[in-house]
Structure 1
Amino acid sequence: MQDQMVAGPVDFVLVEFPDDADTKACGDALMDLVRRDVVRLYDVLVIRKALDGSYSGLDLTDVTSSGIGGFSVFDGARSGLLHDDDVRAVAELMRPGSTAAVLLYENTWAVPLVGAVLDAGGELIASQRIPAPDVIEALNRLETGLPS
């Protein structure tokens, strides 16, 4: 690769949980991706939205009672890329009475591909994420022979 900075695509994911959820396996799965250098974690924010619609950020060291203690190992994962406006927008998507984790991560698995594309003079001209439930539904329809 030439003397240019190369980064993989960065994704933002919001996962919402009921307060009694056991999220240990979620935190373990995310840690596995980080350890294997599949993703580079930039931010983990935890937000609770009250029944009245108000919201607040939670300290990851205090989340065990909120049902998302599985993410407490990521305490301190703050890049500064997410701001108050982002938290406000996320809170608007949440259901009242829920707790959510905001994950901002780089897909480091893609760095070699991005570098090769750039070295070849290419550029990304479009990108879109297809939600996993949509893919599963389409695959199930194909498997059963139903029209899409």
Structure 2
Amino acid sequence: MNDDIEEMGPVDYLVVEFPGTRLTGEAFPLLIDLVDKGLIRILDLRFVQKDADGTVTALEIEGLDQDDAGAVSLSVFDGASSDLLDQDDLDEAGNALDPGNAAAILVYENRWAAPFARALRRAGAQMVASGRIPVQAILASLDAEEAGEGG
């Protein structure tokens, strides 16, 4: 197992909130495409819902509602679990949700970055910080910069 970890790319997670438990399915074919192209490997994909009283419950894939138009069957993701996520992780993800909404929690390996990560590890380097800048923050910064230049 340790050898496999040494070969891995960086691992990230996403928590994506959906209104209610309705999923359009529009993004799932794109996720499958990323896997098929070898860019990512799904380690875990779980779904949770936050009830009106704040209780967070795990949802089974087959129990999720999907819009019919263009939806891919979520059964393709059934069994996508390496057991990295436990109940504490699901509860923490649920804390970010509005009551009545559901979320997909995706843990994935960035396979495209694996050769780079292996080279860094061989050189003795280690990740000491990481982050993500939301697109909305970039747009707001660009808008503020543009407004400043116009004045």
TM-score, structure 1 normalization: 0.82
Map of 1:33-52 to 2, 5 A cutoff?
A: 33-52=34-53
Distance 2:8 2:39 in 1: 13
Q: How far did residue 77 of structure 1 move?
A: 0.8
Query: For 1:1-32, what per-residue CA distance to the aligned partner results, in whole angstroms no more than 9, with x for missing partners?
Result: x9982221111110011137443211111111
Distance 1:4 1:33 in 2: 21
Q: Does 1:100 align with 2:103?
A: yes
Runs of 5+ in structure 2 lacking a partner?
A: none
Distance 1:135 1:37 in 2: 28
Q: 1:145 to 1:100 in 2, by over 3 A?
A: same
- The answer on whether the counterparts of 2:9 and 2:112 sit within 8 Å (CA) in structure 1 is yes
Q: CA RMSD in A?
A: 2.9
Q: Which amino acid aligns with 1:51?
A: A
| Identity between Structure 1 and Structure 2 (%) | 36
Q: 1:57 to 1:97 in 2, by over 3 A?
A: same
Total equivalences in the alignment: 146
Partner of 2:118 in structure 1? 115
Q: How far did residue 140 of structure 1 move?
A: 3.9
Q: 1:71 to 1:11 in 2, by over 3 A?
A: farther
- The answer on whether the counterparts of 1:25 and 1:70 sit within 8 Å (CA) in structure 2 is no
- The answer on whether the counterparts of 1:63 and 1:72 sit within 8 Å (CA) in structure 2 is no
Q: 10-19 or 121-130, which moves further after superposition?
A: 121-130
- The answer on whether the counterparts of 2:21 and 2:102 sit within 8 Å (CA) in structure 1 is no
Map of 1:1-148 to 2, 5 A cutoff?
A: 5-19=6-20, 21-64=22-65, 71-142=74-145, 145=148
Q: 1:103 to 1:137 in 2, by over 3 A?
A: same
Distance 2:81 2:57 in 1: 16
Q: 1:112 to 1:124 in 2, by over 3 A?
A: same
Query: For 1:115-135, what per-residue CA distance to the aligned partner results, in whole angstroms no more than 9, with x for missing partners?
Result: 122233333232222223222
Runs of 5+ in structure 1 lacking a partner?
A: none
- The answer on whether the counterparts of 2:62 and 2:74 sit within 8 Å (CA) in structure 1 is no
Distance 1:4 1:94 in 2: 32
Distance 1:47 1:24 in 2: 16
Distance 1:120 1:144 in 2: 45
Q: Which amino acid aligns with 2:116?
A: L
